[in-house]
Amino acid sequence: MTAMVKTFRARDTRSALAAVKAALGPDAVILSTQEVGGGLFKKPEIEVTAAVEPPAPPAPTPPPQPAAPAPAAVHGRARYAGAGLEPPVPPNLTPKPPPDPQGVVADELIALRSVVESMRQQMRQQALRDSGSSLRFPEPVMRLYEHLLSRGIEASVAEELLRLSAGAHGTQPGQLWHSVRELLSERLVPSRAPWLGGQRRVIALVGPTGVGKTTTLAKMAARALMESKLKVALVTVDTYRVGAADQVARYGAMMNVPTRVAHDAHELARSLEAYAGADLVLVDTAGRSRQDEIARQAELLRVVPGIDLYLCLSAATGGRELLAAGKRFSALKPSRLIFTKLDEAAEPGGIISALGPVGRPIACVTNGQRVPDDIHALTTAQLVELVAGRFEPPAAPSVTQVEH
């Protein structure tokens, strides 16, 4: 019998082995494991090749001997034969084998992905139809508009970019694309990486729940230790989330840096006084979404003079959600922005929406869970490519006027 060999890919080794066990069973043998793919914005995957011996076929069983037909059945067949007709075929009452659960799940996942992609296409087409009453660009320019929508840029932002560009340079596709990128470069302003050396800084990471503030804090601390050789200290004021303080303490123990928990403004001030000799103090906070909670958090943090608030937002949440979060946290007056979870963002262009209400430079981005690998300080050109992607302008006659 020939062994069944299959290859699996997953985000980490544990997930890949779970897929092997689910598909081939506990008797599967691992043949090879390797890391494949990866890049600046794409986390490498783990590829596992496994094999399993197919089960031995069951021993053949002798076919059942047909039972002698009952007299009534013989009489019935004779009755049909006498009339020149075939007797009716009895229904097949043999129970069908149960469906393969793995195959059912795979089919459902494929169907779900198809539905999601179809919904996205419908939303983009609806956005185009909705804007049709106010946007009248030639067809080649509308292709650029649709491209911007496909990147996750909100329709209103994409329309504004095209109007401003067309008003200044006309609607020749190549020039318009260049102008759109220039406008984006004016809005996507990078800042100096927070883990680089310089004057002493106290940085508090704020933002909604679940955006990855604590992991981002650990990445920043590790980069400051390894690359800039800074003295780092950690403080957490997140006493609401179960296990939050323990998580920060574990990171501190792993990096051999001091860690404290502050339950109120007084303890926060005392902690920062105790860390007066540190070059970089990083403060972890609880996730907040409601306006009153954000206001109370601001009161707690602003007790510390000179503290910098870095607003962390997930790039995977979409343009509308980023715009709403930016508006909610604009009252905190953050000095920098951090965009997390780029590895989970199908349409990363939505980050441009948060810049409107916040309007601050971008300190860094994160694209995975690895500490400290998955954190990057990008240049303006890299930020523009992240938002706008790549687009090949179609050849089209020059049009110099936008119809309203």
Predicted confidence at residue 109, as pLDDT, reads: 57
Which residues, including other chains, have CB under 8 Å from residue 282's CB and lie 6 or more apart? 203, 204, 205, 217, 220, 221, 232, 233, 234, 235
Minimal CA–CA distance to 392: which of 212, 144, 187, 217? 144
Chain centroid to Cα 13, Å, comes to 19
Predicted confidence at residue 126, as pLDDT, reads: 57
Q: How distant, in Å, are the alpha carbons of 24, 117, 120, 152, 242 from that of 123?
A: 39, 10, 5, 11, 38
Are 314 and 210 within 8 A, CB to CB?
Answer: yes
Per-residue pLDDT reduced to its tens digit, 112-135: 655 555 565 556 555 554 544 455
Three-state DSSP at 336 gives strand
Per-residue pLDDT reduced to its tens digit, 42-89: 667 888 887 877 766 666 666 666 555 544 444 444 444 444 545 555
Are 271 and 239 within 8 A, CB to CB?
Answer: no
Instruction: Please tell me the chain's helix, strand, coil percentages from 3-state DSSP, rounded to the nearest 5.
Output: 45, 15, 40
Q: How distant, in Å, are the alpha carbons of 31, 212, 222, 366, 367 from that of 377?
A: 38, 17, 14, 9, 12
**pLDDT surpassing 90 at residue 171:** no
The percentage of residues in the chain with a pLDDT greater than 90, rounded to a whole number, is 38
What does R_g of the chain's alpha carbons equal in angstroms?
Answer: 31
Predicted confidence at residue 299, as pLDDT, reads: 84
pTM attached to this predicted model: 0.65
In whole angstroms, what is the distance from residue 367 CA to residue 373 CA? 9
Element (H, E) at 110: helix 101-131
Q: Which residues pair with 51 in a beta bridge?
A: 5, 29
The overall average pLDDT reported for the chain is 79
Element (H, E) at 362: strand 362-366
Minimal CA–CA distance to 252: which of 240, 242, 261? 261
In whole angstroms, what is the distance from residue 87 CA to residue 93 CA? 18
Three-state DSSP at 343 gives helix
Residue 44 burial class via C-beta count within 10 angstroms: exposed 0-12, middle 13-18, buried 19 and up: middle
Which residues, including other chains, have CB under 8 Å from residue 271's CB and lie 6 or more apart? 235, 260, 262
Minimal CA–CA distance to 148: which of 161, 165, 136? 161
- Higher pLDDT among residues 334 and 12, named by residue: 334
Which residues, including other chains, have CB under 8 Å from residue 303's CB and lie 6 or more apart? 265, 268, 269
Per-residue pLDDT reduced to its tens digit, 180-226: 999 999 999 999 999 998 889 999 999 999 899 999 999 999 999 99
- Higher pLDDT among residues 224 and 299, named by residue: 224
| Other Cβ atoms within 10 Å of 292 Cβ, number | 8
Report DSSP letters for 222-273, one per residue. HHHHHTS---EEEEE---SSTTHHHHHHHHHHHHT--EEE-SSHHHHHHHHH
Tell me which of 227-236, 378-387, 388-397 is least confident. 388-397
**pLDDT surpassing 50 at residue 371:** yes
Minimal CA–CA distance to 335: which of 235, 216, 225, 194? 194
Element (H, E) at 96: none
Cα dihedral 315, 320, 323, 324 sign? negative
